[in-house]
Chain A
């Protein structure tokens, strides 16, 4: 039999194929030749054949029949065979194949081979694809090699150990003794892989973490030497000495310093040094700065250092390099919860990134913008975000719309603004809005009693323009059904009332029923809306007609509704007004509406749940209060001791029964226009835990018109390390306070 064709010959031939079919034919022919060659147990050319098989595998063709051949190659004495055999094992064999266990013995022998390159092959293969069983069997060998003085093998053994630990975490203990003097190595390869090994162990075991904390000084020294040492050609990248090692050390320092004051202090200086001295003209310098910033933010660093870190990120935001800007936005997102104010300073730069051309940057900027929205900047931010919603890619619109709804709900400065914002979202991105937004919006609109006329008018006008966006249409139909009477009576306060007749309204709703653009759900909404108008409008006959037509609709849902409404007209007409009357104000449930996709930094936004908390029920006599999970504010109004009968003096007592102090506690209050408010200094700004004390503050309210006292209060404090903000209305002051 002639010698099988050479690998490169085969590659050349296959590349000449002009069609997929031609290629497949060549491959099949060659595979057949290889198969018969394997059957003949040809040792000389096995290596060549397997190499060809690996090439064909990369093109996407099946190569499983070569698995056993790889094992034979690994067992061969020739280095060429072993090299290809191990490569084949890494490509074709994985822990899913039973065959792979047959490798274990070969690897064991090769780990003890006299040639370090053979040992290297074995370590590499084990470290890449070793299964748990293999790792268990061979861990001892790896551990032995971890203690060798041969740095070529030591570095490979370290990474192999990392893989073993990942696969079989219980074996971690076994490598502990060998780590003793890993960091005293001079060889950078060994140093780097040792740091990786230590990192892996510390990440997996708190005991290891405490044990290795004592290495912090040594790590700091190594890092210092890298920075201070002169030019070392072997490890230099653009003037920086071994950036890979620097980054890994910084990462290990982060893990060791987290939550530990002493370690954090020990690394303070070196972090400041790296942060200020690293050359930032090239990517490599910025890579080190990036890792440094992440470390500073995670450990217990002093505030000066933290500010330095945030400023570095701020500078990153202005960098020409897109990658740097992207990384800055990602990091700021991680830190926005803990260092909110510092990040706020960079808000305008972040908002500018919304206009960046790069998709990845835009997304990060959007997420970060939502995290930065607060009561102070809501108007400005919302303008930018709405502009962004208008012009962004469809992929963003759903998330952006949800984010806007959430932000609007939390921080809306006025009900009208809120409704306007919702309208804007529905009209610009109405078809991308999430389905669950519709019920949320309806609930919101219902509860904004004074805005009903304005809302229904705006929605009606929007419908006249465009009926293609289903969420908008659904919300609009619902509102018209509820508040259609306000619409035709022209009662709007907020803007110029429009003149519209009952017939025109019914035209629009009927138009929705017949339009091709309406989904079945939308049709359901409009039919119900039409029905509701039977108690609000006078054109009863028209409504009865529409309802009876749909009694024979093909759509089962519509048909059912129409039949039931028909019955309402016929047999249950006496119940109809009661059934179709105005919806009452709906209670908010504890679960949030739209899903939180914008808060991607993993922090649960506890402030949302908090602001949904209703103030407590009124308490008898002079005690009114605000109650939340273990936190209570009681107001005590003293009226009689005051010379001026128009001034009510209210003292608030804030107590905290949770297990953590509330620090930086700030109480703010706002009153309606006819009142004037004076807040005196609080007794302190820490509300101690476990009811161990309270904060008192005196409020003087001037009420010349003797109107009912209402107050909106805002509490900001830090609890368990996170800033919290609560808003509530207190309306149940006893009449003596203002009469």
Chain B
């Protein structure tokens, strides 16, 4: 996997994870191009498309598009499962997750992603394991004021 993007139907970026070194300008261009391509797709289309030398896999969950760029050797169908697993992990953590959760807690979305994927590859296939790691790591956070479990920044 080369990158993972989350963006809204209006084209607002909600999360970007890059697994190769690219300049800011390149990243912005890729985001623009991919968003444009994905947002015009009719609702019942195939979830895969070919773009440059990459396979783009995307799926829409409510108001958010989950989209990643794969290399030729990667399996598109299992990637759909991967995206679904990430959504399940977010759902498990936030409880009935919606776009607002991801907007206001974007750093958590990244932390969860980092427990699931490293360098573009899956590191943990057990949902329970990821949830436990997040819980324990959260508990290490030095709390500031009112919120005991969820520290505020």
> Whole-angstrom distance from the CB of B108 to the nearest CB of chain A?
10
A361 with B122: CB separation less than 8 A = no
Q: How far is the CA of A332 from the CA of B140 in the complex (A)?
A: 51
Interface positions, chain A 246-297, Cβ under 8 Å from B, are: 247, 251, 283-284, 286-288, 290-291, 294
Residue from B111, B121, B140 having most chain A Cβ neighbours under 10 A: B121
Interface size on B, residues (CB 8 A): 52
Residue interface mask B115-134, A partner, CB < 8 A = 1: 00011011111111100010
Q: How far is the CA of A247 from the CA of B114 in the complex (A)?
A: 21
A188 with B125: CB separation less than 8 A = yes
Interface positions, chain A 22-61, Cβ under 8 Å from B, are: 47-48, 51-52, 54-55, 58-60
Given A323-B46, A323-B47, A323-B76, A244–B21 Cβ distance below 8 Å?
no
Q: How far is the CA of A60 from the CA of B46 in the complex (A)?
A: 30
Say which one of B62-70, B90-98, B99-107 lies at the interface with A: B99-107
B124 with A323: CB separation less than 8 A = no
Q: How far is the CA of A359 from the CA of B37 in the complex (A)?
A: 12
Residue interface mask A707-733, B partner, CB < 8 A = 1: 000000000000000000000000000
Residue of A with least CB distance to B81: A284
Residue interface mask B27-39, A partner, CB < 8 A = 1: 0100000000000
B54 near A: Cβ within 8 Å? no
Say which one of A154-162, A420-428, A508-516 lies at the interface with B: A154-162
Tell me the total A-B contact number using a CB cutoff of 8 A.
Answer: 170
A87 near B: Cβ within 8 Å? yes
A192 with B123: CB separation less than 8 A = yes
Give chain A's interface residue range (CB within 8 Å of chain B).
35 or more
Inter-chain contacts of B47 with A (CB < 8 A): 322-323
A124 near B: Cβ within 8 Å? yes
Given A189-B129, A360-B48, A159–B119 Cβ distance below 8 Å?
yes
Residue interface mask A59-76, B partner, CB < 8 A = 1: 110000000000000000
Inter-chain contacts of B118 with A (CB < 8 A): 123-124, 127-128, 156, 159-160, 163
Partner of A156, one of B73, B123, B142: B123
Inter-chain contacts of A486 with B (CB < 8 A): none
Q: How far is the CA of A370 from the CA of B103 in the complex (A)?
A: 47
> Whole-angstrom distance from the CB of A524 to the nearest CB of chain B?
36
15 contacts between A and B (CB under 8 A): A60-B28, A80-B151, A84-B107, A90-B110, A91-B16, A96-B23, A155-B124, A156-B123, A189-B124, A192-B125, A247-B78, A284-B78, A322-B44, A326-B48, A327-B77
Using A7-B153, A51-B107, A358-B46 as known contacts, list a sample of 19 further A-B pairs with CB atoms less than 8 Å apart, ordered by residue number in A. Answer: A6-B152, A15-B103, A55-B106, A58-B106, A79-B137, A120-B133, A124-B118, A128-B114, A162-B121, A163-B118, A242-B125, A251-B73, A283-B81, A284-B78, A286-B77, A290-B77, A291-B78, A322-B45, A360-B45
